[in-house]
A and B are shown apart, each in its own frame.
Chain A
């Protein structure tokens, strides 16, 4: 196997406190990402989630005697695309190997995978860790060791029968990309940022839907601890973690467990562990422990997978703008790093934002999307894809502010109406009389009235110009918030002075 190289400088920010000294976490991730495709990696059966048991199964998937795999060209393309999205080396020749082991949800008795010659070699993913209290992000480059294609296994269910497990092969043979990071990750936040970034990349590319709750993405987490900057410690692998939150909990628990053992003078056994989200702890998978020997060898049913530069270039030409490039561009268009980072973190956010920002002020659009829309969506527990306020509607609200039809404050009310009831923003403003009063005469009479009723306050305002704000508030109140604040301000300054 490849030699472990430490490319990071220890950062006290990441340290885990211990009895005598601090500890540093070393984390490597193996992420399994289901390839977005209609059919499986080596058969013509569907990859659709949630179908009846064993209905997405061909004779190939069920390993009937004499059945043979034929590779799905789209899965190859998706893997290459993902590799390009990680700035990785694409291997023009790769080989499928058999990984041999017995398990009831592994019908062939082996998994077709790529050990010795993966389709994608070394690459890099830049993660943004943060923001810190100042709203700044730290950029960290995490090395990618490889990406290879392999088959998913089926599913065993253990709770349907007192003495038997039930096996469903619907997932058996679905294409997975296993993306293996280098052991470059040093904190829980970095691990979370890495998976978030990876998920964002595959979603931008359309190569994996990234739905962790449906198992489309899951991570094997390798955790070890060491004295800061010291030798790598013995690692444990936590299998199949299926949410970013659980991953954080699992790493935290595992780090503490290992530190406790080491501080008591013990040593870590290299082993495979399972995270129990209910108890919030990891436990040893003893059943998987006994001498594994996968006896990898090239699958004689398949020829080497070969393609040329032209094929790679054709795929490269189709690549969409990826999050890093998009973030830089948005910052060039006036967004803060914080706003740009939030918006690119999820392709659906970026897509929504870009639609809103089209022909409008980017900064204003970003504020609305981040503060108002995402805030409301999160509160309502919805996805942006089914946001009750479309990008078009939000753009309409912003336009109404821009052309002075409504004030920023009224706009918030309008947003809430659209969010809860729907409708066309200009029409709502008209129907409900929400347009701001720009008629100077009407505003002036309100101003005069207030000035006349509060001579003492006028006196104070002359001495202390900040008091003008109190008058603005009174006028707005008197006009039901519909007066144009700029006009009110201007009039008050003229009449009171200051």
Chain B
């Protein structure tokens, strides 16, 4: 399988990465090199094989239903590019 320029642009959009027409062209070639490389997986017989979900065999640890975190709005917003009164601020979203 390989990608065309339109697909590269669609994928860039899905990835929220701005891409110029020119870069989309070169990116297309790079992505196709990689897709060509992974193509060899098609030859593996995977009949009846379960996909891996966890590389280490173990039970999932769970937390008890206890409130032991939070109340750190200052820490949470300390690195925000824009914030006010412990709110994050973003360019206005229209629904």
Contacts and interface: CB of A to CB of B under 8 A. Distances in A.
- When A and B assemble into the complex, do they touch directly, with CB atoms less than 8 Å apart? yes
B62 A44 contact: no
B42 interface: no
B84 interface: yes
Nearest to A291: B10
Contacts of B20: none
A158 interface: yes
B86 A70 contact: no
A446 interface: no
Given A95-B53, A303-B54, A38 B67 contact: yes
A45 B64 CA distance: 12
A158 B92 contact: yes
Interface string B41-76: 000000000000110001111111111111111011
A74 B65 contact: yes
B65 A169 contact: no
Contacts of A57: 70, 72-73, 76
B12 interface: no
Interface stretch (A160-168, A244-252, A321-329, A369-377): A160-168
28 contacts: A37-B65, A38-B66, A38-B67, A39-B68, A53-B85, A54-B76, A54-B88, A55-B73, A56-B70, A71-B63, A72-B62, A72-B64, A72-B65, A74-B64, A75-B65, A76-B62, A104-B93, A157-B87, A161-B89, A161-B92, A164-B91, A165-B92, A167-B90, A285-B95, A287-B94, A287-B95, A291-B10, A303-B59
Given A57-B76, A102-B16, 20 more contacts: A39-B67, A39-B69, A44-B67, A44-B69, A53-B86, A55-B70, A56-B70, A59-B75, A70-B63, A75-B65, A104-B88, A164-B82, A165-B90, A285-B95, A287-B95, A298-B53, A302-B60, A303-B53, A303-B59, A304-B60
Interface of A: 37-39, 43-46, 52-62, 70-76, 95, 102, 104, 156-158, 160-161, 163-169, 274, 285, 287, 291, 293, 295, 298, 302-306
